Structure formats: C-alpha cells, structure tokens
Amino acid sequence: MRKTLPLSQLVEAIAEASSIRYNNLVYELQRKKKDVIVLSLGESFFDIPFYSFTDLDYVRGYHYSHSRGIFELREKISRFYEKQYGVSSDPNTEVLVTAGSKAVIYMALRTILCPDDEVIIFEPAWVSYTEQVRLSYAVPMMVPHYEGVADINKYVTERTKAVIINNPNNPSGKVYSKKELKQLYDFAKRRGLYILSDEAYSDFVDEEPFHSMAIFDKKKERVIVVNSLSKNMGMSGLRIGYVIANEKIINAILKLNQHIITCPATLVELYVIKYLDAILKKTFPQIKKLLSLRKEIGRYMDSIGLERLPGTGTFYFTVSIVPSKLSSEEFATRLLKEDHVATVPGLGYGKSLDSFLRVGIGTESPERIKKGLDAIRTLITKTS
Ligand code: PMP
C-alpha cells in the first residue's frame, strides 16, 4: 500500500506563477508592517469611478447567466474591438466572455492542442503560457529573447500546432509592428498553424501603434484573440476576460466553459454592461499618463545605467542585472529581503531571461519607483 496518496505528475511538475509567488511574499512583509516598494504587481492602479450595484437587476444578478456571457456584454465587446482595432466579430457566435482571460487562454489551448503538439512561444513569455501548454499535454517550444519573428523557422517542426504571441508584451513592453505581425501570420498560414494572440495590454501604447493580429485573418481561420478588462481598464478584480475566434472554436471553448466555470459573475456582467463606457471615459486618459511615466522612468534608468529589453508599451520593463553573479531568483529574493523592493525574477519568463527582472510601474509613485531602481543598481554593483 502507498504511504501517501500521489498527486498528478503533470500538476506536480508545474511551476508556481512566479509573479504571484513574489506578490505573496510582499503581502507577508506588509503584514509585518514593512514598507515594501512594490514593482512586482501586474496591475496599474487607475482612479476608477464606482457605481452603485443597487441600481442593477440584482435578482437576475444572483443567478447564472448565459455561458457565452450575457449577450449585451458580448455585443459591447464586439463593438469595442471593431471600433478600437478594426476587428469585426459576430457577438452571437464568435465571442465568449468568462472569468478572466487566464482561464480562457487555457480553454483555447485545450481546444486546439492534442497530446505532444508543440507550441511556439516567444520569450519573454508571460508566466502562464508554458505551464498551460504543459497542462494541455503539449510541448512549449521557447524562442529566446534575442531571436525574433524572422527566426521562427528554426523552432518549427512537423509537430508544431500553434504560436502564442503577446502583443504588447508583458514584460518587455515590445509592441509588434504591422510588418512583423503580417510576417508571422503568413508563416502560420503557410505552415497551417493557429495563432493565439493575447492582446491584454492593447491600449498601453503610444509611440508605436497597436495592431490586432485578427486584422489579417478576416475569416478567422486561425487567429484566436484574447483580451480582458484587467489591464487596459485596470479592473482585474472583476474577472472579466474574453475570446474572439471562429464559431467552431468558440463552440468548443463554450463546452469547456460550461464544464469548468459556467459563466462570469452575473452581477459583474450587468455592472460592466451598464457602466463600462462611463468608466472608460475616466480611465483611458490615465493610460496616457502612465505611458508618459514609463518614458520618464526609462530616462531615469538610462541616467543610472540600467539596461533593459526594447519596448515602449505596457507598464513593465525587463531590466538587465548583468554583470551581477546572482541568478534572477537570488537577486529578486535578496532585493526583497534586504531592500524591501519587490520585483519578479526574469526566469519565470523563460530561460533566456535569467539575468533580468520584471519591473512594473503601475502602482507606485515616481519617487518610490526611482528609489527601487537605485536599490537594483546598487545590488548589481555589490554582487558583480
Ligand atoms: N495575459 C497576460 C499577458 C497577462 O499579463 C495577464 C495577467 N497578468 C493575463 C493574460 C491574465 O489576465 P486576466 O486573467 O486577469 O484577464
């Protein structure tokens, strides 16, 4: 008889989400009344108006909604994607809303992947892609950060089924050019691959315009777009994410949604339907402010000699810790314990990122961000 009951080997082999692990350490320090400079959160704290829930149809809100999401919400999202990015979709058949884009990325991967299929993922790669691919019994094929779209040929095999692209990229802030996207799209078409385009930070751009991957695939043959209210709109706590894809894919994702989540929180759906437009009027201008802070912080990094991966979008930087002798985990842990500055180790974003940290600037004042960067600079020197 076994002494202890085993868990799934697949789940045991999965890494924790490093960004969330580091943020849990932050909460523990804060509980001990330590003042932590938080550069580890994947959020921007907008000033967001709050409307009353009591005006909503709470009787409806107390119950399940349609498993694709309430129609009016799908319609709103569909119109938003059309107006904002020129991507049209049928809210009846080509849009599904659920509890966060993280869940819907997983459901999309489960929908398209068979065991041992390979998925090409560009580093830096958001922490959950690799593990979600593994949880789908498939194999992540990582493209190191120093290679680009033009190098994809080297990573493709007869087993390749899909490419994941995160545009703009968390954590580098890279915004893919129209040319790069077209190149990737043409490649996927030639090789018969799906493209999962995670556009969670689509509005966090200014110098370089954002283009949705879906503009190249009018018939929605291969492109699956995911997005959410978490980053662009600063409302991660509402847990509203969505997917736009062809009817066949949406119908398959719908089955998974019905068996796993059922639907988003209905009351939240009603809230978003009623107040999203008013909220965006207030929050969209704040994106501009954050992007101008990004520029200011970039200049500050230059002035103290902190190097980073190229990028102009999002509220993240991928900062190099070279020539420190520490790994990114060791560095981030020491920085947190000794200086009370929280970042996320690069390793979580791919093997080629172990000499980098993710630095997020969405939640602290410019002065405190600069203080945190000074601490990074000093620790690099100390550990070189
Ligand atoms: N994609 C990317 C690139 C992200 O950074 C995140 C959140 N950190 C998500 C998806 C998931 O966001 P949510 O589940 O809140 O929609």
* Distance between Cα 101 and ligand 1 center (Å): 6
- 89 shares a domain with 27: no
374 is written with which tokens? 């000074």
Structure confidence by residue, pLDDT tens digits, 43-85: 899 999 999 999 999 999 999 999 999 999 999 999 999 999 9
- 365 shares a domain with 229: no
Mean pLDDT of 326-334: 97
* For residue 208, pLDDT beyond 70: yes
* For residue 337, pLDDT beyond 70: yes
- 140 shares a domain with 22: no
Give me the residues paired with residue 96 across strands: 243
* Distance between Cα 121 and ligand 1 center (Å): 16
- 314 shares a domain with 224: no
Expressed as residue numbers, the domain containing 242 is 63-278
- 211 shares a domain with 161: yes
Q: What is the pLDDT of residue 20?
A: 85
Label residue 18 by pLDDT band (50, 70, 90): confident
* Distance between Cα 161 and ligand 1 center (Å): 22
* Distance between Cα 329 and ligand 1 center (Å): 22
* For residue 212, pLDDT beyond 80: yes
CATH (domain of 356): 3.90.1150.10
Q: Which residues contact 202 (CB under 8 A, 6 or more apart)?
A: 84, 85, 167, 168, 210, 212, 227, 232
Is 169 a pocket residue for ligand 1 (Cβ < 6 Å)? no
- 89 shares a domain with 26: no
Q: What is the pLDDT of residue 23?
A: 86
Mean pLDDT of 95-108: 98
Mean pLDDT of 183-194: 98
Residue that the structure tokens 């107390």 belong to: 62
Label residue 1 by pLDDT band (50, 70, 90): low
198 is written with which tokens? 């995670």
User: What is the per-residue DSSP string for 340-366?
Assistant: -EE-EEGGGG-GGGTTEEEEE-SSS-H
319 is written with which tokens? 């900062």
Mean pLDDT of 168-187: 98
Nearest Cα residue to 52 out of 278, 287, 229: 278
- 200 shares a domain with 149: yes
Is 228 a pocket residue for ligand 1 (Cβ < 6 Å)? yes
- 262 shares a domain with 161: yes
Find out whether 196 and 165 touch, Cβ atoms under 8 Å.
yes
Is 170 a pocket residue for ligand 1 (Cβ < 6 Å)? yes
CA–CA distance from 211 to each of 112, 176, 197 (Å)?
A: 24, 8, 11
* Distance between Cα 188 and ligand 1 center (Å): 24
Label residue 17 by pLDDT band (50, 70, 90): confident
- 203 shares a domain with 151: yes
* For residue 233, pLDDT beyond 70: yes
Mean pLDDT of 188-217: 97
Label residue 201 by pLDDT band (50, 70, 90): very high
124 upstream amide cis, omega within 30 of 0:
yes
- 121 shares a domain with 17: no
Q: Which residues contact 65 (CB under 8 A, 6 or more apart)?
A: 263, 264, 266, 269
Report yes or no on 95 lying in a domain: yes
Report yes or no on 52 lying in a domain: no
Burial 58-97 (b: 16+ CB within 10 A, else e): eeebeeebbbbbbeebbbbbbebbeeebebebebebbbbb
* For residue 22, pLDDT beyond 90: no
Single out the residue in 278, 301, 328 at which a domain terminates: 278
Mean pLDDT of 146-173: 97
Q: Which residues contact 130 (CB under 8 A, 6 or more apart)?
A: 121, 140, 142, 350
For residues 317 and 2, give the distance between their C-alpha atoms in angstroms, rounded to a whole number. Answer: 48
* For residue 139, pLDDT beyond 70: yes
Report yes or no on 325 lying in a domain: yes
- Number of domains present in the structure of the chain: 2
Cα-Cα-Cα-Cα dihedral sign, residues 138, 139, 145, 149: negative
In this structure, what are the phi and psi dihedrals at residue 200, rounded to the nearest 5 degrees?
A: -60, -25
Structure confidence by residue, pLDDT tens digits, 250-295: 999 999 999 999 999 999 999 999 999 999 999 999 999 999 999 9
**Test site for ligand 1: of 41, 98, 102, most ligand atoms within 8 A of the Cβ:** 102
Structure confidence by residue, pLDDT tens digits, 344-372: 999 999 999 999 999 999 999 999 999 99
Report yes or no on 56 lying in a domain: no
- 135 shares a domain with 93: yes
Nearest Cα residue to 92 out of 108, 77, 71: 71
